[in-house]
Structure 1
Amino acid sequence: MRKSLIGYALWAVLIGTIFLSPGMIALAVVPLSVLALAVLIDPPGGIGVRRRLSKSEVWLGEEVEIRVEVEVERGIGLVVIRDPLPKSVALTSGNNVGVFFKGLKPLRAEYSYRIRPLRRGSYRLPESEVTTRNPLGVRYLWGLYGEELELRAIPRIIRAVPMAQTSRKARISVPETSFSITGSLSTDFREIREYQTGDPVKLINWKATARIGRVMTNEFEREGKKTVLFVVDAREGMKVGAGSESPYEHAMNLVSSMAHRFLRKDYHVGLYLLGTGKFLPPATGQRQLHAMVRTMMEFERVQTAEEGFDDSIERLKRILLQYRPLVVYVSNVLEGTLMETRRGILKVTSLHRGSSKPVIVDVSPPLEAEAGTLIEIEKRVIAEELEKAGAYVVRWLPEQEDTGRVLSRLLGEIG
């Protein structure tokens, strides 16, 4: 617009000068006057943008509403607000661009739209981009306004499992002799051990503390509940393939759904991330579920150490003796990890004296047809070896069987 007015005015002045025509020169005054007026009008300014999320943490696939409030105090012209969205976030309804005209009075406007995360993870929603122009577009302003928002999408938990597939007699039992770290104390003395955060002060053994020089506490057998301990392989072999299709991604979805199911039955559920050394002691309630999900997400991109399944069982020996939990190991078991997995199974069965079988969920990554045939043969041999060692093995090909179906299959075998 500005270039057109200037061009028109220059042509009028040039022609008027050449032909000595005062009328043509006078015509140049009109666009020059309009241009001068446009330059004097300020574009909209004094901008304030406030955005609110309906939820800051959602299950994967759940929608979130974003409400945007806009205030413009001065100037006249067009106001355009645009909220950039990350690549893995879909706009499901409304529009993430708001367009308003600021007149003589202050502008107060609001709009909303809904988004849905397509992948699990943490998202940063950048500040709003605001562009304003005065009526003729001669002057404009651009800037970032509002605050950056954070949105967290956690793995979707499958809450409903078809009962027809879970009503038959269970083949895997969770030992009844487990006891709870937070359950009622019995009068049966177990041992004197070093004090841990959260232990009741009344259980401190002051004589042993004075003798040893460290705070010691009495531990009693506890009446209680069944316990399930998930050992999730967080090493590089679980993170092959696209992020949303990697064995680790599928493992998170399955473990989250299984943990939800067991916690609803008032079991204690614990988590150990193989390769990271991260351990969440067995506990109950929704807080434990959220802690497990957050932990698995936080360590997805972390460089892991060399640690085998047998090493993790050795580290967890005290927990295994104390709780006698059902051990569920989720991994992409290959020829290179077969022996460590077998040794770990033998350690678990030895510690439990054969009272329960560890469960091995072998998750396969997406493979091409030719490679898939060879891997399938290798996986069958591996499954036979692990079953001979005393484990209950579940082969899982996520490309052929979704999380809901394998969850039904597993829960149908565990009682």
Structure 2
Amino acid sequence: MEEITKYIIALEIPLLAVAVVTRSLALLPALITPLAALALILSTADRDVKVEVKASLRRTRFKVEDEVELSVEAKSNAPGVLLLKALDDGRFFPKGRVTKALYLGRGSAEIKVIAALPGRRKPAPASWAFYPLTLKGCLKGEVELPQIEIRPYLAKISHKLPALSPGAPRAPGLLAGPHSLEFLEVREYRPGDPYKLINWKAYARNPASLYVNEKLKEGHSVVYVILDAGSNCRPDAIGHGASLALSLAYASIKAGNSVGLFVIPSGRVYLPPTDSQAGLQLVKEALMALETEPPRRYWP
């Protein structure tokens, strides 16, 4: 500190001489600013530097693609520079810089990232380093962050049926859609029944009425959703993939089909086909427990 004081005074003397000789007011800021900084540093030189850093989230539950905003407030009893780093792990996609710098004895900043990987986990602590202007050494510390829940979103899936001509048959009930060859019953003809289902033998016996052979609707399909959560995928890509997988599972179960989930590589997650709401909840929980591994190296 004594060396710094000597250098500042050595620089001030020539500036003061020039200002007196030239009577220039433009040199006053150059004279006053270093002296004020020197006075501030000397007034805090004997203090034990103390730093207080607080970090808070406005909310802790998000969906994939939501913005996560971390507010940071810091103060110290000595002037200096505070460097802060937070939310720099694989579950978030940076929207800007995740490292912020705060100056002097008090300040605030915001770090914004995009929620990417679904799950319920506690982020790594926010780390900070404070460099006081008194050059007493660097102070380091961490701030614990609360648990954050990131859920996959449900995509809006709309399906528009093609227009039918006025004369096209419209089969209701069990006759709607493709049919199997399994016989169900014989019933009276209703407008809209396909002509190919008419029981002509029954019509020959009783021409006064038309009957149709009603057959069972084609059996429900089993949908397997395969999600690639490999190490070469970015967290935001996995998050969108998990959201699409959940949307497909929801739409399939709503349509009466069974859904199974398989996560690659290595089959880390496998759920057998199910068509119940409880099974849909299992799919959601499985997608909330995805983990990413470090990228694999294909060279020695």
Structure 2 length-normalised TM = 0.48
Larger Rg: 2
